[in-house]
Amino acid sequence: MTPPNASASSGVPAVFLDRDGTLIEDRGDLREPAEAVFFAETVPALRRLHEHFRLIIVTNQPGVSTGELTREEVDRVNAHVVQHLARAGVVITAVYFCPHQRSENCACIKPKPFFLQQAAREHNLDLRRSFVIGDHPHDIELARAAGSTGVYVLTGHGLSHRADLSADILVAKNIGEAADLVLELRRR
Ligand SMILES: [Zn+2]
């Protein structure tokens, strides 16, 4: 007899990455690829993770809904982030973004696990062996909602929201330390 979770557990693990404040500096609504500034730790961290995990970017971009940004601008910046990482030998499997404001109560805004579940179906992922790295408490709630493990980074908004987190949350100084933590947890 096949256990009910056989298909889920046969999937591959992923690391879901927030974009602004986690991979690149948080500089508000980014319209141009040139506005994306990578943290020094981002490329080496993703190179280490990339050997063991699918890497997927999930980002909220409410500026689209408020009219500050167009979808095309977000797509262009996302494409630039993916290309920059590809040139460094890091493959990003997919990028998902929510264009809505929280007041719209859409299905896809973090911390709702909508895009993680979509990614799991589209890329045969095992969410229970997957991680979420982000600089907002929503990223940690997102991980919990998906059955994954969250790692909170203190870059971006990280420092200012740290007090909102419960004490049992995994906290890393930046994406580099977060990658090391994820790799250590994977080995256990
Ligand atoms: Zn949405």
Q: Per the residue annotation, which of 18, 126, 135, 139 is the catalytic one?
A: 18
CA 92 to chain centre: 11
18 is catalytic: yes
Residue 81 lies in a domain: yes
Which tokens is 79 given?
């494409």
* Residue 8 is assigned to a structural domain of this protein: no
**Alpha carbon of 127 to ligand 1 centroid (Å):** 20
Segments of the chain scoring below 70 in pLDDT: 1-9
Annotated active-site residue in 20, 126, 135, 139: 20
pLDDT score, position 9: 58
Q: Which domain holds residue 48?
A: 20-187
**Per the domain annotation, does 32 fall within a domain?**
yes
3-state secondary structure of 69: coil
Report the C-alpha gap between 134 and 152 in whole angstroms. 5
Rounded to the nearest whole angstrom, what is the distance from the C-alpha of residue 111 to the centroid of ligand 1? 10
Number of domains in the chain: 1
Q: Ligand 1 centre and the CA of 8: distance in Å?
A: 25
Q: Domain of 144: which CATH number?
A: 3.40.50.1000
Ligand 1 centroid – CA 27 distance (Å): 21
pLDDT in tens, 6-46: 444 579 999 999 999 999 999 999 999 999 999 999 999 99
The CA distance from 34 to 67, in Å, is: 20
For the entire predicted model, the pTM comes to: 0.94
Domain-embedded: residue 7? no
Say if 1 falls within a structural domain.
no
State the distance from the centre of ligand 1 to the C-alpha of 157, rounded, in angstroms.
20
